[in-house]
Amino acid sequence: MKAGFEIAIVGAGPAGCTLASLLRLRGFDVLVFDDDKRPSLLVGESLLPTVVDLMRRLGIEDRVKKFSTCKPGVAFVHRGGLRLDFFFPEKTLGKTPNYSYNIPRPEYDNLLRTRAEELGVTFVKRRAAVEKGDGEREIRLTRECLEATPELGGRQPKLLVDSTGRARVFARELGITSKRGGRNDVAYFAHYENFDAESSKDGQVVISVQEHGWSWRIPLPGRVSVGMVLHKDVAKKHGATPEERLESLIESEPILRQAGKGRKRVSEVMTYTNYQLISDRGHGPGWVAAGDSYGFVDPMLSPGLFMAMYMADLLDQVVFSAGRKVLDRPEALARGFAKVEKEMLDWHEAWANIIEYFYDGRIFSMYEGGSKMSELYGKYALPHLMERHMTRHITRMVSGVSTRSRYGRGLVAFGAKHLLWETEPPEYYAVR
């Protein structure tokens, strides 16, 4: 076995395994540290159509299909009764597939690792220990870690990649600060049998705006993932344990209580907090962060796993497409990483922008106003054509196809200003 690796990736989540696979396809020698400790459930079970393109590049879509549910779109249901159904028409998404998948995350993550192994990536079952470096290595593996990893032959890799997710191991070691989002929510979720997802089409994800916070229902094979997202202070009033809180929240919300009247919980209850964070710096001499280690966004529109895998793909295309020689050119690496970071910042800003329209209620008010104008003026009148045009662009934005489109973002801003015609105010529809 060859000792010594050009690149070591710390963490074997979606970003790490995707990047490792893409690097092997370019001929890089890659080692991945994986402590093999994963929770039984993970946030990120509903994917965007743009992820399917990445699945195809990795050659795994047929295998994903076997353990997943096809996702044709998403619905947003308000506690007042208004419902918005977004589907993925083929013509609307262009060359992007007009579907996606709802996935059991452990199976999906395991498949990404299996695919990386098939491509020749070396995995070691070990938690990597890092420390501050100097000069060309701002961070490095500790001596103890090198000695415990004979695959490295006692030599530091030329590049370290932080793919430790929300643990953000490198950033914490280096004292790199971050920017958090404005919300202070907590999520409780579990898998249930006999819970009605209330999908208009099989596999459709349903997001409901509740009396407090919002909920998701994600159809999976044989069960439904049900989650509640709300302010921490409200959650504390519903019991002392995650199990008590989730059950109490379901019972307290009319939409969920009716849908889950015959429910049977078949998994543990998981808790997640702090959904919006971006590191102030995602790279430095000898290292780069990928996926959630750099930043993560609110889960309402399911962008998380796409953002993690897309950042890995972007690093591959922008930086590592130059070949192995780029590892010996620190200035070229820094320029490439800076370019990736700039694009990812734009992605984060775009997602935060469109998600806020759902949180503050404007998306519901626009839909109500557009529907009323269409009914009043007829389906061939200009107002109806405007409403269809806007719906098309919102669908493209929430699917990940054109989330960053300046035109789309401007169009939605225009609609929020001019389509609120005899509607309930956005405050009525807002997530509380």
Cα–Cα distance, 120 to 399 (Å, whole number) = 32
pLDDT tens string 90-133 = 788 888 999 999 999 999 999 999 999 999 999 999 999 999 99
**What tokens does 251 get?**
């019972």
Cα–Cα distance, 401 to 94 (Å, whole number) = 9
Mean pLDDT, rounded, of the chain: 93
> Quick check: is 73 in a domain?
no
Q: Name which of 385, 77, 389, 103 is nearest 216 in CA terms.
A: 77
C-alpha distances (whole Å) from 163 to each of 20, 33, 287, 289 are 11, 10, 11, 6
Q: Name which of 139, 81, 40 is nearest 367 in CA terms.
A: 81
pLDDT at 63: 98
- Which pTM value belongs to this model? 0.94
pLDDT surpasses 80 at 275: no
pLDDT surpasses 60 at 380: no
Cα–Cα distance, 290 to 156 (Å, whole number) = 19
Q: How many domains does the chain have?
A: 3
What's the burial of 378, exposed, middle or buried (CB within 10 Å: 0-12/13-18/19+)?
A: exposed
Mean pLDDT of 22-47: 93
Tally DSSP H helices, then E strands, for the chain.
16, 21
pLDDT surpasses 80 at 377: no
Cα–Cα distance, 276 to 141 (Å, whole number) = 29
CATH number at residue 52: 3.50.50.60
Question: Binning pLDDT at 50, 70 and 90, where does residue 383 land?
Answer: low
Cα–Cα distance, 426 to 9 (Å, whole number) = 45
Pair 41, 267: CB distance under 8 Å: yes
> Quick check: is 96 in a domain?
no
Cα–Cα distance, 418 to 405 (Å, whole number) = 20
Check whether residue 152 and residue 285 sit in a common domain. yes
Cα–Cα distance, 357 to 393 (Å, whole number) = 14
Check whether residue 62 and residue 16 sit in a common domain. yes
> Quick check: is 79 in a domain?
no
Question: What count of other Cβ atoms lies within 10 Å of the Cβ of residue 180?
Answer: 11
Question: Binning pLDDT at 50, 70 and 90, where does residue 89 land?
Answer: confident
Mean pLDDT of 337-365: 96
Lowest mean pLDDT among 35-49, 215-229, 230-244, 318-332: 35-49
How many CA within 13 A on the CB side of residue 263? 24
Check whether residue 284 and residue 330 sit in a common domain. yes
Check whether residue 263 and residue 410 sit in a common domain. no
> Quick check: is 198 in a domain?
yes
pLDDT surpasses 90 at 367: no
Question: Binning pLDDT at 50, 70 and 90, where does residue 1 land?
Answer: very low
Mean pLDDT of 219-227: 98
Q: Name which of 391, 427, 409, 398 is nearest 48 in CA terms.
A: 398
Task: Please state, for a pLDDT cut of 70, what percent of the chain lies above it.
Answer: 97
pLDDT at 38: 83
Domain around 367? 360-429
Residue ending a domain, among 227, 244, 273, is 273
pLDDT at 423: 86
Cα–Cα distance, 238 to 293 (Å, whole number) = 32
Check whether residue 35 and residue 143 sit in a common domain. yes
Q: Reduce the DSSP state of residue 363 to 3 states and report it.
A: helix
pLDDT surpasses 70 at 335: yes
pLDDT tens string 143-178 = 999 999 999 999 999 999 999 999 999 999 999 999
Q: Name which of 117, 140, 137 is nearest 128 in CA terms.
A: 140
pLDDT surpasses 90 at 369: no
